[in-house]
Amino acid sequence: MRRAMHLTLAAALALMLLPSALPAGPAHAVEATSPEWQATLAAAKGQSVQFHAWGGSPNINDYITWAGGVVRDRYGITLNHVKLEDTATAVSAIVAEKAAGRLQGGSVDLVWINGENFASLKEQGLLADGFATDLPNWRYVDTSNPGATTDFTLPIEGQESPWGRAKLVFFYDSARTAEADLPRSAADLMTFAKAHPGRFSYPAPPDFVGSSFLKQVLLEQVADRSLLERPVDEAAFASVTAPLWTYLDALNPLLWRGGRDFPSNYPAMKQLLADGELDIIFAFNPGEASAGIAAGELPDTVRSFTFPGGTLGNTHYVAIPFNSGSQAAAKVVADFLLSPEAQLRKEDPSHWGDPTVLDMAKLPQPERAAFEGLDLGPATLQASELGPVLSEPHPSWMTRLEAEWMKRYGTGR
- Structural domain spans, the chain: 9-164+314-377, 167-313+388-409
Residues 86-134 have pLDDT tens digits of 899 999 999 999 999 999 999 999 999 988 899 999 999 999 999 999 9
**Least confident residue range of 77-81, 327-331, 391-395:** 391-395
d(CA 323, CA 15): 34
The pTM score is: 0.80
What is the homologous superfamily of the domain 9-164+314-377 according to CATH? Periplasmic binding protein-like II (3.40.190.10)
pLDDT band at 21 (very low <50, low <70, confident <90, very high): very low
pLDDT at 398 (0 to 100): 92
pLDDT at 411 (0 to 100): 64
**Least confident residue range of 74-78, 148-152, 240-244, 273-277:** 148-152
Give which of 227, 236, 223, 242 is closest to 153, Cα–Cα: 227
Residues 47-62 have a mean pLDDT of 95
- Residues whose CB is less than 8 angstroms from the CB of residue 231 and which lie 6 or more positions away in sequence, other chains included: 394, 396
pLDDT at 164 (0 to 100): 95
Mean pLDDT for the chain overall: 91
Report whether pLDDT(384) > 90.
no
**202 by DSSP, 3-state: which?**
coil
Residues 156-176 have a mean pLDDT of 96
**CB crowding 379-392: b at 16 or more within 10 Å, else e:** bbbeeeebbebbbb
Q: Are 80 and 67 in contact (CB under 8 A)?
A: no
What is the distance of C-alpha 295 from the center of its chain?
A: 19
Report whether pLDDT(412) > 80.
no
Report whether pLDDT(158) > 70.
yes
- How many Cα atoms sit within 13 Å of 128 on the Cβ side? 23
Class of domain 167-313+388-409: alpha beta
pLDDT at 102 (0 to 100): 96
Give which of 289, 287, 241, 282 is closest to 263, Cα–Cα: 282
pLDDT at 383 (0 to 100): 80
Helix (DSSP H) and strand (DSSP E) numbers for the chain: 14, 11
d(CA 384, CA 367): 22
Report whether pLDDT(53) > 60.
yes
pLDDT at 121 (0 to 100): 96
Residues 291-304 have a mean pLDDT of 94
pLDDT at 250 (0 to 100): 98
How many residues are listed for the chain in this entry? 413
Top-ranked range on mean pLDDT: pick from 19-28, 41-50, 138-147, 367-376: 41-50
pLDDT band at 41 (very low <50, low <70, confident <90, very high): very high
pLDDT at 230 (0 to 100): 93
d(CA 175, CA 254): 23
Residues 325-379 have pLDDT tens digits of 999 999 999 999 999 999 999 999 889 989 999 999 999 999 999 999 999 999 9
Report whether pLDDT(16) > 80.
no
pLDDT at 4 (0 to 100): 35
Q: Are 29 and 134 in contact (CB under 8 A)?
A: yes
Amino acid (one-letter) located at 142:
D
Report whether pLDDT(73) > 90.
yes
pLDDT band at 12 (very low <50, low <70, confident <90, very high): very low
9-164+314-377 and 167-313+388-409 agree in CATH topology: yes
pLDDT at 234 (0 to 100): 95
pLDDT band at 33 (very low <50, low <70, confident <90, very high): confident
Report whether pLDDT(13) > 70.
no
d(CA 311, CA 217): 9
Q: What percent of the chain has pLDDT over 70?
A: 92
Q: What are phi and psi of 363, to 5 degrees?
A: -85, 150
- How many Cα atoms sit within 13 Å of 43 on the Cβ side? 15
Q: What are phi and psi of 38, to 5 degrees?
A: -65, -35
Residues 156-170 have a mean pLDDT of 96
